[in-house]
Chain A
Amino acid sequence: MVYLDHAASTPMLPEAIDAMAAQLAVGGNASSLHASGRAARRAVEESRERLAQALGARPSEVVFTGGGTEADNLAVKGIYWARSAADPRRRRILASAVEHHAVLDPIEWLVAAQGATVEWLPVDGDGRVTPDTLRAAIEHDPSDVALVSVMWANNEVGTVMPITELVEIAHEYGIPVHSDAVQAVGQVPVDFAASGADAMTITGHKLGGPVGVGALLLGRGVAVTPVMHGGGQERDVRSGTLDGAGIVGFSVAAELAVKGQPEQAELLAALRDDLVLRTLARVPDAQVNGDLRSAIEFRLPGNAHLSFPGCEGDSLLLLLDARGIECSTGSACSAGVARPSHVLLAMGSGVDRARGSLRLTLGHTSIQADVDAFVEAIVPVVERAKQAGLSRSRES
């Protein structure tokens, strides 16, 4: 199997599996007061310190959650509620037009049900929010902005955002910034304190940890209204019994991912560049989506995103899958139906270019043979998909 979909979920690191399995065997509720409880709590707190250390945060800034989506919801809704409660004028949310649905949809809900307004920050052709764009949006009326949310790096096209600059601008006006960094950790350097961000989402299964555990890194002074109410286990902001084993596996993976990041990035970028260049050589009309510069300041090293004119992404995926090559299309699955990705549309790609695209993402298990297999398969696959694409357009 050639796995080119690490951005969807990357295999767990063996060290994380071992650490997690060991903790599963120990068990215990970290909120219990007896010896087993203390042991579980110790594992959680050590993990919290490990994670904080890896990501430039203080341990008290780590709020464990059930994954990235929960952390995004907590940040977006929680900060919005707290900020608008403190000053009812703060109703406007500024967020990039290329956010993941875990950020887009909570905002849409706040608009539909909670009286918020949203201004989607446009992106340039590479998928990037420029500092000027953010400044102009804020200066329209700095007093009514509840929060800014811009992802660290885009999950589809891999574009890295100028987070530090964006945070500086927002902070000139005292506006808190959330950044969804689930795709970035382990691929590019991520330092919570250095970025200045007030809240940052990270998750286990994108960096070699388990699915179902993530965290919101949340500055100590940032007011957040809880989304879920209960035992208040995490700073009274997040309730629910802590998943000790998941948290251990997550923190071990995060530590290794961050430690190995420089070397990993170099390796992945080389493989990725090879994949892109050889694909373009064989399929000359293919187009690269996102930032063409391959340095990690601009683009996640494991990300390639290509459009194949005249092809349906669905057809490409099916044909590659049949050959044992796994990747994603440039479409987002919305209610079970593939729709052209909002990211590519926001970048100015037409619907056809969006529908005819593939996302190929590399990770820690990727090897040269994976790239070779893809490059080998892509010519016949594109040929067939083009026939199917044409038969389809003839029909409609």
Chain B
Amino acid sequence: MRVLAAMSGGVDSAVAAARAVDAGHDVTGVHLALSEAPQSLRTGARGCCSVEDSRDARRAADVIGIPYYVWDMAAQFREQVMDDFVAEYAAGRTPNPCLRCNEKIKFAAVLDRALALGFDAVCTGHYARLVDGGLHRAVDEGKDQSYVLGVLTGDQLRHAMFPLGDTRKDAVRTEAQQRGLAVADKPDSHDICFIADGDTAGFLHKAIGSQPGDIVDQASGEVLGTHDGAFAFTVGQRKGLKIGRPAADGRPRYVLDITPVTGQVSVGPAEALDVDRIVGLSPRWCGPTGVDGAYVVQVRAHGGIAPAEVTIEPDRLLVRLSEPLRGVARGQAVVVYDGDRVVGSATIDVAERVVPVR
């Protein structure tokens, strides 16, 4: 097959590309330039958007012995990922930009272009497995990225290649070392790639501006304080509330809910974070359309896993959790698993408590 390997400049995508070559494919490396004004050198834990990262990817391609190009995807990335990220936060939701990037950039804009140019598949360093066309969790549970791929349709997955799903991260690093890839000991990237300093609230404040609102105790309705923008808060957040005085019972308070438009942030005790019913919109299926039944769902990139009864309606998923989950944010994806296999996903619109707390 002719394979286009997306190379971020990190160790995972480099090893993935090398494995695609070993598997006998005709591989071309492409670095996606996602920033309109890339920095010369990497700062902090960002892993993809500086010129240095692009050079790392180029060196890896040299070592692997494949052609290498940079594709400018900055405009699409801004429209589809960054603008969406800001709009979602402005609407009181908590989006996952990595998921959005996979859905709209890597396995849409890039894949479409690759197919048109005569490639058969796009290969990435994601930790996930493709088994008989189905998307499955990676062997390395700690690194599993099937959650952020749960938005891909069967058609997108048919043209995807994830060569690292059967390997643990430490083994990938060792392999990179053995292959002479200089990125073998490059730190893992985390945080959001387009927020250089990791200050998401600051980024959003710059993008959205000041949107003052009240911080309210959910139980009593008492106004505890004000804030400069609800986008600085995420459901489940404890730190940075700046209420200034403890709750009457002295227990810590958490963000429970964010009301769109008014920007009211409701806070309360930890147990009030527990939800047992989720409604997800715009379901996407990683293969055949799902059927009602008992599954396991995951509501954020790391953790947030629980068994559930899932009912499928034409444009939404109803999820009854068998055990409550804490800190479920609107705008995140609820991904449905049948064992290790990803069935599909939907965007969380409602997360609530139906069975009263005992």
B75 on the interface (CB 8 Å rule)? Answer: yes
Stretch at the interface among A118-126, A174-182, A332-340, A371-379: A332-340
List 18 A–B pairs whose Cβ atoms lie within 8 Å, in order of A's numbering.
Answer: A314-B71, A315-B117, A318-B67, A336-B55, A336-B70, A337-B72, A338-B70, A384-B117, A384-B118, A387-B116, A387-B117, A388-B112, A388-B117, A389-B116, A392-B109, A392-B112, A395-B108, A396-B76
Would you call B70 and A391 a contact (CB within 8 A)? no
B51 close to A (CB within 8 Å): yes
Bound complex: CA of A392 vs CA of B115, how far in Å? 11
- B interface footprint on A323-347 (CB within 8 Å = 1, 0 otherwise): 0000000000001111100000000
Binary contact track B95-118/A, C-beta < 8 Å → 1, others 0: 000000000100011001101111
CB neighbours (8 Å) of B79 from chain A are 396
* Stretch among B32-40, B295-303, B313-321 lining the A interface: B32-40
Residues of B within 8 A of A387 (CB): 116-117
CB closest residue in chain A, given B26? A322
User: In the complex the two chains form, is A335's CB within 8 Å of B28's CB?
Assistant: no
Check if B51 sits within 8 Å of A396, measured CB to CB: no
Question: Which of A322, A335, A337 sits near B40, CB closer than 8 Å?
Answer: A335
Residues of A within 8 A of B72 (CB): 314, 337-339
CA distance A337 to B118 in the complex (A): 23
Complex contacts, B270 vs chain A, CB 8 Å: none
Interface residues of B in 291-346 (CB under 8 A from A): none
Query: Could you tell me if B37 and A335 are in contact, using CB atoms closer than 8 angstroms?
Result: yes
- Counting CB contacts under 8 A, is A146 at the interface? no
A108: interface (CB < 8 Å): no
- Is A321 interfacial (CB 8 A cutoff)? yes
Interchain CB contact under 8 A, A396 and B117:
no
**Bound CA–CA A318/B72 (angstroms):** 13
**Interchain nearest-CB distance for B104 vs A (Å):** 8
B67 partner, pick from A321, A384, A389, A395, beta carbons under 8 A: A321
State whether A385 touches B33 (Cβ < 8 A): no
Give the size range of B's interface with the partner.
20 to 34
Q: Say whether A319 faces chain B, with CB atoms less than 8 Å apart.
A: yes
Residues on A with beta carbons closer than 8 Å to the beta carbon of B203: none
Cβ–Cβ contact B117 & A395, under 8 A:
no
- CB of B8 to closest CB in A, whole Å: 13
B112 near A395 with CB under 8 A, answer yes
Q: Does B45 contact A (CB under 8 A)?
A: no
Closest chain A residue to B118 by CB distance?
A384
Which one of A321, A335, A389, A392 lies within 8 Å of B51 (CB-CB)?
A335
Flag if A315 contacts B113 (CB, 8 Å): yes
> By the criterion CB–CB under 8 Å, are B116 and A314 in contact?
no
Could you tell me the distance between the alpha carbons of A37 and B37 in the complex, rounded to whole angstroms? 48
Interface residue range, chain A: 20 to 34
User: Is A390 positioned at the interface, with any CB of B under 8 Å from its CB?
Assistant: yes
CB–CB B115/A318 < 8 A: no
Q: Which 6 A-B pairs have the closest CB atoms?
A: A388-B116, A391-B112, A387-B116, A337-B33, A336-B51, A395-B109
Complex contact A391–B113 (CB within 8 A): yes
- Rounded to whole angstroms, the CA-CA distance of A387 and B37 in the bound complex is 28
Contact indicator B69/A314 (Cβ below 8 Å): yes
In residues 271-299 of chain A, which contact B (Cβ within 8 Å)?
none
For residue A384, which residues in chain B have a CB less than 8 angstroms away from its CB? 116-118
Give the nearest-CB partner of A380 in chain B: B118
Q: Which residues of A contact B104 (CB under 8 A)?
A: 395
Q: Which residues of chain A are near B28, meaning CB under 8 Å?
A: 318, 322
Q: Are B38 and A337 in contact (CB under 8 A)?
A: yes
Bound complex: CA A396 to CA B69 (Å): 21
Encoded as 1 (CB less than 8 Å from any A CB) or 0, chain B from 54 to 67 comes to 11000000000001
CB distance from B193 to the nearest CB of A (A): 15
Given contacts A337-B74, A391-B112, A396-B109, contact A319 B117 (CB under 8 A): yes
Knowing A336-B51, A395-B108, A396-B79, the reply to whether A318 touches B116 (Cβ < 8 A) is no
Q: Which of A315, A336, A338, A387 lies at the interface centre, i.e. has the most chain B CB atoms within 10 A of its CB? A: A336
Q: Please report the C-alpha to C-alpha distance between residue A338 and residue B54 in the assembled complex, in whole angstroms.
A: 13
A388 with B38, Cβ < 8 A, contacts A322-B67, A336-B33, A396-B79 known? no
**Closest Cβ–Cβ distance, residue B78 to chain A (whole Å):** 10
Which residues of B, 105-149, contact A by the 8 Å Cβ criterion? Answer: 108-109, 112-113, 115-118
Given contacts A336-B33, A336-B54, contact A318 B112 (CB under 8 A): no
Which A residues are CB-close (under 8 A) to B71?
Answer: 314
Query: Whole-angstrom distance between the alpha carbons of A284 and B320 in the complex?
Result: 62
Question: When the two chains form the complex, which single residue of B37, B51, B67, B113 contacts A388, counting CB atoms closer than 8 Å?
Answer: B113
B50 to chain A, nearest CB (A): 9
A318 and B74 within 8 A (CB)? no
Given known A321-B67, A336-B70, A384-B118, contact A396–B112 (CB-CB < 8 A): no
Q: What CA separation (Å) do A389 and B108 show in the bound complex? A: 14
Least distance between A382 CB and chain B CB atoms (Å) = 12
- What CA separation (Å) do A240 and B298 show in the bound complex? 64
Measured between beta carbons, the chain B residues less than 8 angstroms from A338 are: 70, 72
Q: Is the CB of A392 within 8 A of B113?
A: yes
CB neighbours (8 Å) of B55 from chain A are: 336
Nearest opposing residue in chain B for A385, CB measure: B117
Instruction: Contacts A314-B69, A318-B69, A335-B38 given; indicate if A391 touches B115 (C-beta within 8 A).
Output: yes
